[in-house]
Structure 1
Amino acid sequence: MEKLPPLNAVRAFEVAARTASFTLAATELGVSSAAVSQQIRNLENWFGKQLFVRSGNRIALTDAGHAIYPQASRALGDIAAIGRRMLEGGLRTRLVVSVPFSLAELWLAPRLAVLLEAFPQMAIDVRVEDDPVDIARQNIDLRISYGDYHYPGLKLVRLVHDEVLPVCAPDFWHRHGNGASGLEGVHDSMFIHTNWGPNYATHPSWADWFAASGQSRSPDPSQGRRVGLSSLAIASARLGLGIALGQRVMARADLEAGRLIALSPVSVRLGHPYCAFMLPAKAERADVAGLVELLGAIPGKVHSGFPGKSV
């Protein structure tokens, strides 16, 4: 057998690289920061390469560290998958899907309904949580994330690159549109603003939308309605609370049913696509592959994996 690197050190390296912190790695592993640091030194000595650049309390992967990390993460994930199969006797039927808060209800749930028509006996565990998550340790089959950069060691499938456009309830526009042909004359208090949170800087704002439509207006958020989720912005618009800059994939069902109307054909693309991440060993499972296909489907397209079904 070929000589293997120390596996405890590889595990410490994988967690430290993923969390970008010896302190966070120590918390996850249940050891001290000094123990993590020592394991990293052991691995560096074994490879004869420096894996991290250390600057005070901050760490960053070196070129050698970047070269090693994807394979180390993938190998540990495969080992974890083998252990689960042995413990469960190879009879696992539960699909564990991890998803951000904003996507769970309006985007994921309708597609899970289609999946369950094809796999009616399947048990599904939907976990709603922010990035990052430990896919291997938490036994997650599929993680859906905004952006393609969170999990470099895993299989990646880009699902959809969404866009936003102005939407509101028909009755709201009838009462507050003032006969306007566009949004130029709408008061600032009528706009719904989505606060994406401190971790995101690439989501378009109302100022971005007005710029895309050839106008310089920037509605004042302090005068309008503010919500903390894109799905809540759409729900608020549906209830007649204002005009939301709604994501198209989330608003599609409401637009088709007439519960919402689009006030302009102008849309603005999000900064990143939504992506699916999974351990390579799980990517070919029928339930995982079927859900990935549904999530990446063009609306209305009939899928080969699920005859007669459309999303």
Structure 2
Amino acid sequence: MLNLPPRISARLNSSQFANLHTFLVAARHLSFARAAQELCLTASAVSHRISRLETALEMKLFQRLTRQVNLTDEGERIFDILQQAMGELSEALEHSSQADIAGSIALYVRPSVAQCWLVPRLADFLERYPSVSLDLRVGNDNVDFRTRKFDLALYYANGEFPGLASQRLMQERLAPVCSPAYAQRHDLLNNPQNLKLCTTLHDSLAWDHAAFDAEWTLWAQQHNLLDALPKRTLTFDRSDLSVTAAMHHAGIAMGREQLVQKRVDSGELILPFADFSVCGHYDYYLVHSPLSALPKRVQVFIDWLHECAQQTVT
């Protein structure tokens, strides 16, 4: 419960609870500007709300510096109390609302995003919603929702899904990746012209009707390096397989940031030329039949996917 001291509780009215929420967001970001973005307010409005709260509580919550704000000792104490209270409230609401969240969700996913992004996260969803079962299938074809009993599909695509409902889950960017040993062997660091000496690894089914070298061509065109692409290639029908081959020194693959960033962070892969910089107009989309309202179990799964996407590379 919100265990504020009696002298503070007595000063809180309905308007101050809105100011407390504003304070909670601002304290989490340590920025009035970022809090304003989240709350759809102006930074000035956030500042005024905080000032009114400080006046009501008769305490200073923030130290206002030239380009940043920091919590005072009192601000830290109130922030800790609010975080604990909001956590307890969220948990109570979640438990009370899960009674009707049950059943099975049939999900169709592109193989690489299933392997590298979705499956490692599923334990969290199953822990939150123990009455929901998942039936996950992978493939490179598009689902006909009229004849196949899928609730939801997750595609790497350009966002065009005639006759279906869709929403973008997360953006994607591209850059070549290889093992450190392969980069050293072929003197690749900051030398993209040395690609001619390499083997390029391809996802030949990157998206619908894509050429086998579509991702590499897209990257090379944007960097004026079409002439540097080698003739020697190794192709797969999955992006994660080309990346696995790159990790084992078979060549250099086109990496998708959302799928390979952890490998880059761990040092198993490196970016020999530049950071992820090419946006190829192909992102990750959630697609389903155009129902007037999705079953609640499907909607909570979609909400959870968006939460996961916010926690990954942006």
Match of 1:103 in 2: 113
The CA RMSD measured in Å over matched residues stands at 3.3
Alpha-carbon shift at residue 249 of structure 1 (Å): 1.1
Q: Does 1:147 align with 2:153?
A: no
The one of 136, 139, 142 equivalent to 1:132 is 142
**Could you tell me which amino acid in structure 1 is paired with residue 106 of structure 2?**
V
Q: Is the 8 A contact 1:211 1:217 kept in 2?
A: no
**Could you tell me which amino acid in structure 2 is paired with residue 250 of structure 1?**
L
Name the count of aligned residue pairs. 212
Describe the superposition over 1:149-195 as per-residue Cα deviations: whole angstroms up to 9, x where unpaired. 3351x332111231211111223223x14374332224443322332
Match of 2:275 in 1: 265
- Taking a change above 3 Å as real, the CA distance of residues 262 and 285 of structure 1, as seen in their structure-2 partners, is farther
Alpha-carbon shift at residue 97 of structure 1 (Å): 0.3
Match of 1:235 in 2: 244
**1:4-83 residue pairs with structure 2 within 5 A?**
none
Computing the radius of gyration from Cα coordinates, the structure with the larger value is 2
* Alignment partners' CA distance in 2, 1:196 and 1:107: 18
Name the TM-score, length of structure 1 as normaliser: 0.57
Q: Structure 1: which 5+ residue stretches go unaligned?
A: 1-89, 303-309
* Alignment partners' CA distance in 1, 2:248 and 2:305: 27
- Taking a change above 3 Å as real, the CA distance of residues 169 and 272 of structure 1, as seen in their structure-2 partners, is same
Alpha-carbon shift at residue 125 of structure 1 (Å): 0.5
**Could you tell me which amino acid in structure 2 is paired with residue 249 of structure 1?**
Q
Match of 1:191 in 2: 200
- Taking a change above 3 Å as real, the CA distance of residues 299 and 160 of structure 1, as seen in their structure-2 partners, is closer
Alpha-carbon shift at residue 215 of structure 1 (Å): 3.5
Q: Structure 2: which 5+ residue stretches go unaligned?
A: 1-99
Match of 2:35 in 1: none
Q: Is the 8 A contact 2:202 2:239 kept in 1?
A: no
Q: Is the 8 A contact 2:170 2:309 kept in 1?
A: no
The DSSP-based 3-state class of the residue aligned with 1:116 is helix
Percent identity (aligned): 23
Match of 2:14 in 1: none
Alpha-carbon shift at residue 271 of structure 1 (Å): 3.4
- Taking a change above 3 Å as real, the CA distance of residues 188 and 205 of structure 1, as seen in their structure-2 partners, is farther
Match of 2:298 in 1: 288
- Taking a change above 3 Å as real, the CA distance of residues 196 and 188 of structure 1, as seen in their structure-2 partners, is farther
**Could you tell me which amino acid in structure 2 is paired with residue 295 of structure 1?**
L
Q: Is the 8 A contact 2:195 2:230 kept in 1?
A: no
The DSSP-based 3-state class of the residue aligned with 2:194 is coil
Q: Is the 8 A contact 2:195 2:228 kept in 1?
A: no
- Taking a change above 3 Å as real, the CA distance of residues 299 and 183 of structure 1, as seen in their structure-2 partners, is farther
Match of 1:256 in 2: 265
Alpha-carbon shift at residue 275 of structure 1 (Å): 1.4
Describe the superposition over 1:278-306 as per-residue Cα deviations: whole angstroms up to 9, x where unpaired. 2455855444223323434575639xxxx
* Alignment partners' CA distance in 1, 2:204 and 2:140: 15
The one of 201, 206, 210 equivalent to 1:201 is 210
Name the TM-score, length of structure 2 as normaliser: 0.57
Match of 1:76 in 2: none
* Alignment partners' CA distance in 1, 2:108 and 2:292: 14
**Could you tell me which amino acid in structure 1 is paired with residue 236 of structure 2?**
V
Alpha-carbon shift at residue 128 of structure 1 (Å): 1.4
* Alignment partners' CA distance in 2, 1:298 and 1:106: 13
